[in-house]
Amino acid sequence: MLQIIKSNELVDYESALGFMEHRVDEIIAGRAEDCLWFLEHPPLYTSGTSAKSADLLSNQFPVYKAGRGGEYTYHGPGQRVVYVMRKLPVHDLRAYVQQLEQWIINTLARLDVTGERREGRIGIWVERNGVEAKIAALGIRVRKWVAYHGIALNVAPDLAHFKGIVPCGISEFGVTSLEKLGLEVDMDKVDDILLDEFMKVFGK
C-alpha cells in the first residue's frame, strides 16, 4: 500500500526531516505503509554527506544537514519536492536511483521536455541550443532497506537562488526550470503526472 500526502503550505525543512525519520522507523517496524509526500519548502540550502564547504557561496538562506547522499542543493517555492519513503523490494541502490531518474524523465516527456542522464553527474539534465542545464535533483538515504528523501523538480522557482551554492558540486553547468523552458505548468498538473508516472515505474 502507498499513502499519498500533499502539503499546500510551505513546509520547513526540520519538520520534513523529522517526519521522514519517524515514518521510516514505522515502516521498518511494519506499522506504516510506504509514503509519497508532495511539498514545497521555503528558500533554503541542504548539504549532503559529500558537501564541500567551498561550494556554499552565500548564507542568504538557512543551511540544513540533510543526511542524504550528495552535496549542496537548493529548495524553495516553485520547486516540486517529492519525498519517497519506501521499503525497497530489491536491495540494489543503483537500480533504485535509476528508477527515480526514469520517473523524472518520463514525467518530463509528458510535458514534451527531453530529460537525460549524464555520466558522472547526478540529476536530470536538459539541453537547449547546445547548452546543458539541470532541471531536477535527487538524493536518497537508506536505513534497513527503507529509502527516503527523494526528488526535486524545478517547475518555476527563483533560479537566482541557486547562485548561493555550487549545485551538487558542479560549477560548469547551470540550472533551469520548466518556466525557463517556456512552459507555464500548473503545479497540480505536474503532481498528477508525477503520481501517474510513479505508479508506472514502481507499481502500485
Q: Which residues pair with 81 in a beta bridge?
A: 39, 152
Neighbours of 112 (CB within 10 A): 8
> Catalytic site residue 35?
no
- Cα-based distances in Å from 14 to 17, 170, 187: 5, 26, 23
- Four-residue CA torsion sign, 202, 104, 18, 121: positive
Here the cell at position 178 is: 520548466
Q: Which of 68, 79, 73 lies closest to 147 in space, CA to CA?
A: 68
45 Cβ neighbours under 8 A, 6+ residues apart = 56, 61, 62, 63, 64, 72, 73, 74, 75, 164, 165
Please tell me which residue in 16, 168, 175, 194 is annotated as part of the active site: 168
Which residues carry out catalysis?
168
